[in-house]
Amino acid sequence: MQSSADTNEHAREDIEALKGAVLIEFGASWCEHCRAARPLVEKVMARHPEVRFVWVEDGKGKALGRSFQVKLWPTLIFLKDGREIERLVRPGDAGSIEGAIVRTVAG
C-alpha cells in the first residue's frame, strides 16, 4: 500500500495537485471509530496499489480538514486528479470502501 502518515498541515492546493487516484483519510490516532475502520481500509488498499493513500491527523484548527468540511472521523475522501469523486464517513464495511475505490479509479 502506498501510504504516508501525515501529521503536517498541507495546503489544499498541494492535495489537489496530486495526480491519479488518491484516498485521503482524515482521523485521529485516539479515535475509536478510526481504529475500527483501520482494518477495513488496509484490506481494501492492499488490493489497490495503484491508489495513493494519505492519512491525515485531523483536529480542531487544522485547515486541511476544514477545507474539506470534515465533521466526523474517519472521513475518507476519494480524489481523482485532484477532484473529489466520493466520500465516506465512518465506513462500516470493506465493500463500501471497495466500491468507492473502483468508482474513483474509473472516474
Catalytic residue selected from 31, 40, 70, 101: 31
Of 18, 13, 105, nearest to 68 by C-alpha is 13
Catalytic residue selected from 15, 21, 34, 56: 34
Told to judge if 52 belongs to the known catalytic residues of this protein, a careful annotator would answer: no
Told to judge if 86 belongs to the known catalytic residues of this protein, a careful annotator would answer: no
CB burial of 31-54 (b: ≥16 within 10 Å; e: otherwise) equals bebbeebeebbeebbeebeebbbb
| Active-site annotation, residues | 31, 34
